[in-house]
Amino acid sequence: MLLVKLAAFLLSAAPTLPRKARNVLIVLIAVLGAISAIGSVDAASLPLLDGSLYYRIGGHGFAVLLLSGGPGRSGDYLDPVFDHLTISHRVILPDQRGTGRSRLRALGTDSVTVRKTVADLETLRVTLGVENWTIIGHSWGGMLAMAYTTQHPANVAGLILVGSGGTSLEFFDRSDIVLRQRQTPTELDSIQAWEKQTCDPALRERAMLEVKKLRTGAYLFDRRSLAAVNGTLTPQTYSSQTSELILRDLRRTRYDLRADLRVAEIGASGKRPALILHGDTDAIGKATEHELSAAFPASIHSRKPSLRSLSLDRGTARILQRTGHVPGRCFAVDAVTIAFAETGQGAVIMMNAKADIEVVKNIFVEAIGQQYHWPDP
C-alpha cells in the first residue's frame, strides 16, 4: 500500500517535470508497481459440481501447495506460513472440501471422500495453470499429499511431510495409544463426559469440538501454548462432521498407500524428492516413523542428541528437538526454510543426492514463534 501511494504521488508530479525526467519517472512507477505486486494475495472460490472450493493464492515463483491438518480443519492456522512463503513462492492454501469457507450442497458419505478431495486439488491445479508443485502437508495434510501424489505423480515436484499421518490404517491404532498415554486423568474424564453428549444432535457439533480441544494438549511440546492453539479451533475453522466422514471413508476404502507410493517413485529410489519431519515429542510422528521409513526407505530417523538430520539420496529426514505436533517456531525454521534451497532462478529444489540442504532463509521465526508463544528451541 505504501508503494502504491508513493507511485500515485510521483505520478501527480509528472506533468511539471522535463521530458527526460518524466520518462525516468514512468520507468520508476512501473518498477514500483511490479514490486507492489510481489506477495499480493487473492482469495477466490472455485466452482465444483457439488459446491465450491475456497482458496488463497499469493506470491510469485515456483508453486507450493500448502495442505492443512485435521481432517476437518480449514487452512487458517497455517496463515503465518502462507504469508511468509509468498515472499518468494507462489503459494496456494485451500480450505479443503467440507471445511472453512469451502461449500458443499450436502455433507455426506458420497460428497466427503479422500478421492473427491484429491480431485478438487487436481481441478485447482488445472484451473490455476500450474504445471507441477511442491506439496507441504501437515498432519492429515501429509496423508492427503501422499494420496494426491499416488494419483497424480507427474504433477508433483516434491513432498514435504510435517508431522504427517501414516500410509495405512495401522497408524491410527498406534497414534491412539500414544495420544491416550499423554492425556491427563482430568482430560480423559472430560473427554468421556463430552463424548456422551455426542448422541444428542443439538449438542453433537459443540461436543465434538470440545473433545478436539481436550485432546490438543497431548500433541504439544509445551502445554503453555494450549490456550493459543485451541483459540484457533472454532465452529468456523473446524468441522467435526467432515472429520468423521473422512475418517469413515479411510476405513471404508481400507486406506493403504504403501504399494502406490513405491510406484509413484517418491524419495530415495524415485524421481520426486521427499522431506519427512516430525518433532521428537510428536505423538503422531512416533506413531508414523516406521510406516514412513518403510514407504521412503532412506528416511531412517537418527537417534543422536541435538537436531538430527540424515542426508538421503533424493530426500532427507529430520527430527526436530523440543517440538510437538502443532506447527510452531521449529516448524517454521526447519520444515520450510531448511527444506527449501532456492536456485538463482527462484525455483524450489529439494535435496540433491548425498548433499546437505543449504539454509538460505530464516523468514518465519518471529511470525509463528510470537503467534503461538513457542519457546526458543
Query: How confident is residue 116, by pLDDT bands cut at 50, 70 and 90?
Result: very high
User: Is 267 within the bounds of a domain?
Assistant: yes
Same domain flag for 6 and 67: no
Same domain flag for 284 and 310: yes
The confidence score (pLDDT) of residue 117 equals 98
User: Is 210 within the bounds of a domain?
Assistant: yes
User: Is 376 within the bounds of a domain?
Assistant: no
Same domain flag for 31 and 142: no
Please tell me the total count of domains within the chain: 2
User: Is 184 within the bounds of a domain?
Assistant: yes
Half-sphere exposure (CA, 13 Å, Cβ side) for 137?
27
Average pLDDT of the chain is 71
Same domain flag for 104 and 166: yes
Query: How confident is residue 209, by pLDDT bands cut at 50, 70 and 90?
Result: confident
The confidence score (pLDDT) of residue 323 equals 56
- Which are the contacts of 14, defined by CB distance < 8 A and separation ≥ 6? 22, 25, 26
Torsion of CA 177, 179, 185, 189, to 10 degrees: -90
User: Does the pLDDT value for residue 113 go beyond 50?
Assistant: yes
Identify which of 86-90, 186-190, 304-308 has the greatest average pLDDT: 186-190
User: Does the pLDDT value for residue 101 go beyond 80?
Assistant: yes
Same domain flag for 91 and 12: no
More confident call, 102 vs 297:
102
Task: Give the domain CATH number at 107.
Answer: 3.40.50.1820
Same domain flag for 201 and 335: yes
- Which are the contacts of 357, defined by CB distance < 8 A and separation ≥ 6? 316, 338, 339, 341, 350, 351
Tell me, letter by letter, the H, E, C secondary structure of 86-132: CCCCEEEEECCCCCCCCEECCCCCCCCCHHHHHHHHHHHHHHHCCCC
Same domain flag for 56 and 169: yes
User: Which residue type is seen at 50?
Assistant: D
Cell numbers of 255, please? 486406506
> What is the bridge-based pairing of β-strands 63-67 and 90-94?
parallel
34: DSSP letter: H
The confidence score (pLDDT) of residue 274 equals 73
- Which of left, alpha, beta for 264 (phi over 0: left; psi -120 to 50: alpha)? alpha
User: Is 206 within the bounds of a domain?
Assistant: yes
Same domain flag for 29 and 58: no
Query: Rounded CA gap, 339 and 364, in Å?
Result: 13
Average pLDDT for 309-322: 44
Query: Rounded CA gap, 340 and 351, in Å?
Result: 8
Same domain flag for 350 and 259: yes
Same domain flag for 303 and 331: yes
Question: What is the residue range of 21's domain?
Answer: 2-37
Same domain flag for 178 and 69: yes
Query: Rounded CA gap, 348 and 202, in Å?
Result: 48
Same domain flag for 158 and 234: yes
The confidence score (pLDDT) of residue 258 equals 86
User: Is 377 within the bounds of a domain?
Assistant: no
